[in-house]
Amino acid sequence: APATDIALSCHGIERSFGGLRALKGVDLEVRQGQIFGLVGPNGSGKTTMVNVMTGFYPPNAGRVELFGADITRMAPHKVARCGVARTFQNLALFKGMSVLDNVLLGRHVHMRPSALASLFYWVWAEREELAHRRVVEEIIDFMQLQDIRDEPVEAIPMGLQKRVELARALVAQPRFLILDEPMAGMNQEEKEYIARFILDARDERDVTIFIIEHHMDVVTAICDEVVVLCYGEVIARGDPATAIAQPQVVKAYLGE
Ligand code: ADP
């Protein structure tokens, strides 16, 4: 396969916290256009892996490549400028701000650094206002948030807040989107709704998706491929249904 076919490649990733080896030489490769799942019991190193991939934690050893470029020790804001967007396990929306303004914040990666201090002045400045607004309006429509766009985020239900967070990640127009437990705390209906949006985002928006997810029904339904971590090591990989049925994976989850 040509090098450009690989969206993300992590090789030999090691990361320790004091004496604790959270990642013990993890290798993984995500192909462009995939929905790739990272699973494993609590404490297995999933969040640490994403923090290494996004520049929040430099690895102690190993190499991270994004679309063929070395991003191993790049700062998080530079990784974002390379086309990586991320949502967080615990909601990171700004209370007191409307749905629309929270989504708009996701455009910051496309703004000049000097503009960050005066974000809103700049966003509404005439020259680039239209381009940003168009993207934001389009994503608000895509995520079906039109009816609640002016509501303060804290006034809307949790399931919708998660959707706002996903919208904010999408307005950055990422090539690589990382979703950290996007279905946490959701009922079945909300889970199916988000699963649909994830599939549509991949199919219509030309984005590769990397997802940490605990719901195995979701993983088998939407992921093309998975890696299973346990105590910082890969214990299974490949087709989701096959990988999570492996005895060592079943055993790893029994202790939960
Ligand atoms: P997961 O996301 O799979 O639940 P984590 O990556 O959060 O796992 O954690 C892996 C291990 O690394 C755990 O033992 C956790 O306590 C430890 N760990 C994670 N982040 C830190 C940190 N900032 N400082 C110290 N230990 C950490």
**Is residue 172 a contact partner of residue 85, using CB atoms and an 8 Å limit?**
yes
Ligand 1 contact via 47 beta carbon (within 6 Å): yes
Mean of all residue pLDDT scores within the chain: 89
Residue with tokens 């960050």: 116
Check residue 125 and give its pLDDT.
59
**Chain segment 12-52, per-residue pLDDT in tens:** 999 999 999 999 999 999 999 999 999 999 999 999 999 99
**Which H, E and C letters describe 106-126, residue by residue?**
HHHHHCCHHHHHHHHHHHHCH
Three-state DSSP at 234 gives strand
What pLDDT is recorded for position 1? 43
- Mean pLDDT, residues 143-168 taken together: 91
Pocket of ligand 1 contains residue 256 by CB under 6 Å? no
pLDDT value for 184: 83
Could you tell me if the CB of 15 is within 6 A of ligand 1?
Answer: no
Tell me, in angstroms, the distance from the centre of ligand 1 to residue 22's CA.
6
Q: pLDDT tens digits, residue range 181-205?
A: 988 888 888 889 889 989 999 998 8
CB contact at 8 A, 211 and 240: no
Does ligand 1 lie within 6 Å of residue 51's CB atom? no
Tell me the average pLDDT across 221-227.
96
Domains of the chain, residue spans = 1-83+174-256, 93-172
pLDDT-derived band at 118, boundaries 50, 70, 90: low
ipTM: 0.98
Give the residue whose CA is nearest to atom 13 of ligand 1.
43
Residue 124 has pLDDT above 80, yes or no: no
Mean pLDDT calculated for residue range 80-90: 86
| 20-31 vs 35-39, strand pairing mode | unpaired
Q: Is the pLDDT of residue 90 over 80?
A: no
Residue nearest to atom 7 of ligand 1 (CA): 47
CA–CA gap between residue 172 and residue 158 (Å, rounded): 22
Q: How much is the pLDDT for 111?
A: 65
Residue 119 has a pLDDT of 61
pLDDT of amino acid 66: 96
**Structure-model confidence comparison of residues 109 and 79, the more confident one:** 79
Residue found by looking up tokens 């690895």 in the block: 59
The CATH number of the domain covering residues in 1-83+174-256: 3.40.50.300
The pLDDT > 70 percentage for the chain reads: 89
Which H or E run contains 99? Answer: helix 99-105
> For residue 159, what pLDDT is reported?
84
